[in-house]
Chains A and B, each alone.
Chain A
Amino acid sequence: MPDNRRRHANTVPIAKFATCVVVGIFACGAGLGYVWCKNDLYATGTQIKKVEGELVQLRSRNEAARTNIAKLTSTAELDKRHALGWIKLVPITPDRIVVVGSVAKPTGSGELRAVANERKQE
């Protein structure tokens, strides 16, 4: 066998080997990537589920709080509390009411009218 041919015949097929290694690494990488993505997808799904649950819970709590506020601030409830003395309000007595008397009829648009506030004498 001539020298030149023998030299070629004994060389390691680096290109082929490198291709195999690259393909192998790519295949492994792709496989690992797929598994990683899949795991990440599940993890994100679990997180989504958790956040959704929290959102539903917060909405429910918000609605429950709104209902409670509506109950406590309803006219009927405030009346009841007022009657029980919880709210320290005193009904307006007639002597505390200022009646606007002798109202002058407006003579033109935009004109200021004179009014007299008279407190009733006891």
Chain B
Amino acid sequence: MNRTARTRAFITCFLLAGCFTAFSARLVHLQVTQHDEYLALARKTHGERQKIHGRRGTITDIRGEPLAQNDPVKTVVVDATLVKDPRSLARVLASSLKLPEAAIFERITREVFSETQKKEVVSPYIVVKREVAQGIADDLASQLAKRKMRGVSFEQSANRIYPNGHMLCHVVGYVNGAGQGVDGVERTMDSYLRSYEGFRNIVIDRKGNEIVPYRGEEHEARHGSNVRLTIDMGLQNIVEQELDAAIKQFRPKGATVILMNPKTGGILALANRPNFNLNVQDGVKSEARLNLAISAQVEPGSTFKPVTVAAVLNEKLVTPDTVFDVDNGFYEWCKLKDDHPSIELTVNDILVRSSNIGAAKLAMRLGDQKFFEYIHRFGFGEQTGVALPGEIKGVIHPPHQWSKISITRMPMGHEVAATPLQIVTAMCVIANGGSLMMPQIVHDITDDGGTVVSAFPPREVRRVVSKRTTEQVRKALIEVVSKKGTARLAQVLGFQVAGKTGTAQKREENGRYSHDKHVCSFVGFLPAEDPAFVALVLIDEAQTKRGQDVGGLVAAPVFSRIGERAARYLGLTPSFEEPEGSVVAKEGKNGGTLRDR
């Protein structure tokens, strides 16, 4: 090889080497020096974070009837950078989604300034419509596929649906727009019900299709757990229907009915009026949202007397047959009256005839401090701990704040404020043999696979009185619902009922007790010998003829109707033959039921 040829070869090799070196340097510059910058750009252009939808847990009653569920819906999103023919796409979207075509076209062609590209570009994320029903979304997707139109995606979401509308609205509660529980069990059990969205990092090609082999990090969605309540919708339906009938009859300001299992503390049914439709949140008045059973306080009236009698009997200061002088219906020094005047009454008869004077004398024998202690032991003045939001404690003043006559007023349920749930929980103490049970609304919580995540077994708060005491009070309460008691209209055909009426005067704004406005109530249980449920019927300001707005005439018949239907629903065997002359015996013989009254 001559010198010229060698020089040429050398120059060629040098140039080639120089070229390769330059390319290599450029590659190093791109891959190493500017690695992060270009990686970010590639991710931005081709990388996407795909959401994986998580379902909120459902709420069911004890038998599995759905009370809160999810209705799957889609959000239609357009990536305008992938749209080739916006006019045609707008037409298809408009016809499927029932939206004006011009508005859609304007939105998908509107240009916005891009910081990365430093120019006006169409948006890659335009929400065209939210809450599109599953069927419509499916139909739209198939139309787009048929026309080979790109740039439209469907994001999964869900609407919360309450199949029973008004029923049980204060217990179930509702969620806000962000899917967070705002009221009821939806709120208290939100941490269990809540779902967490998952995600998947994906890479898309220039047509917007996912390149599956390049899938990145993935986190599964966490579905919410399912909550099962202690509520039985069969009983709830009975309660709602009878409450509606009572509302129609008495047109009261408000009303509450609670059914509770005295042995477990499980709430079987709970209804308030006014109420509202859970599926229609707009325009609901604030008073309709109030759960009267736990957020309203009332003076319990005579339904408080069993507490007084049980306390005195438990302290063995008297026996059921101990006789008290009841001053022929007027107790002079504290200006206390009885509706049914008597000269003397036994402890039993004080309950049966609902004597205010007798109850006052019993409490006086017990003493301020002891009486106050028993009130607390029965659960008044403290939250019951039920898993519902907004529960109040009620008001029980300590003895040092009492007036001279407080000891005569409190035994008859005045000067104390309690929630309806506290009243029914206190009656459960008598019904179950002396234990204060914590009211339960949630039975258990299961995960998506059906495994129990959390259970809420019956919880005894404390032992309040002895079994013997409860037997003695129970006997007296059975007599209350007899011919000689104040609650004979609470009788249920075939069953022995025990209970107590209450008629509490309401306080006026000036602090005085009203003579026209009453809270009528009845709290009782059946069968008296082995109670399946305790029920409270409380009706606020019933519109009746003068003198007829009393617990025995307003609330007791409602209890009777609920009791009769509930006993039939629960399959309780009638085991009691009414004595001759009782209301149910007479009506039973005529072939009618208490419901006909």
Tell me, yes or no, whether B165 is within 8 Å of chain A by CB.
yes
Q: How far is the CB of B226 from chain A (nearest CB, A)?
A: 12
Return the chain A residue nearest B66 by Cβ.
A70
Q: Report A-chain residues with C-beta under 8 Å of the C-beta of B166.
A: 76
What total count of A-B pairs have CB within 8 Å? 88
Contact A70/B573 with A45-B211, A48-B212, A76-B164 known, Cβ cut-off 8 Å: no
* Chain A CB within 10 A, most for which of B65, B591, B592: B591
Task: Flag whether B553 is at the interface (Cβ < 8 A).
Answer: no
Cα-based distance from A94 to B65 in the complex (angstroms): 29
Is the CB of B156 closer than 8 A to any CB of chain A? yes
**Is A6 an interface residue when CB atoms closer than 8 A count as contact?**
no
A101 / chain B contacts, CB cutoff of 8 Å: 494, 574, 577
Kindly identify which residue among A75, A77, A94 contacts B591, using a CB–CB cutoff of 8 Å.
Answer: A94
Query: Would you call A74 and B591 a contact (CB within 8 A)?
Result: no
B contact face: mostly helix, strand, loop, or mixed:
mixed
Task: Report the bound CA distance from A44 to B212 in whole Å.
Answer: 9
Chain A 40-80: CB-based contact to B (< 8 A → 1; otherwise 0): 01101110110000001100110110110011011111010
Given A75-B65, A94-B596, A101-B574, is A121 in contact with B212 using a C-beta cutoff of 8 Å? no
Complex interface: stretch among B36-44, B68-76, B353-361 = B68-76
Whose C-beta in chain B lies nearest to the C-beta of A72?
B163
User: Among A48, A67, A73, A97, which residue has its beta carbon within 8 angstroms of that of B161?
Assistant: A67
Pairs A-B, 5 closest by C-beta atoms: A45-B212, A74-B163, A70-B66, A60-B72, A76-B164
Interface residues of B (CB under 8 A from A): 55, 65-66, 69-72, 133-135, 138, 156, 158, 161, 163-167, 210-213, 233-234, 236-237, 241, 493-494, 573-575, 577, 588, 591-593, 596
Can you list 29 A-B pairs with a CB-CB distance of less than 8 A?
A42-B213, A46-B212, A48-B212, A63-B55, A63-B70, A63-B71, A64-B72, A64-B135, A66-B66, A67-B69, A67-B70, A67-B72, A70-B66, A70-B69, A70-B161, A71-B161, A73-B163, A75-B236, A76-B164, A79-B237, A94-B591, A94-B593, A99-B493, A99-B494, A100-B574, A101-B494, A102-B577, A103-B574, A103-B575
**Which A residues fall within an 8 A CB radius of B?**
41-42, 44-46, 48-49, 56-57, 60-61, 63-64, 66-67, 70-71, 73-77, 79, 94-95, 97, 99-103, 120-122
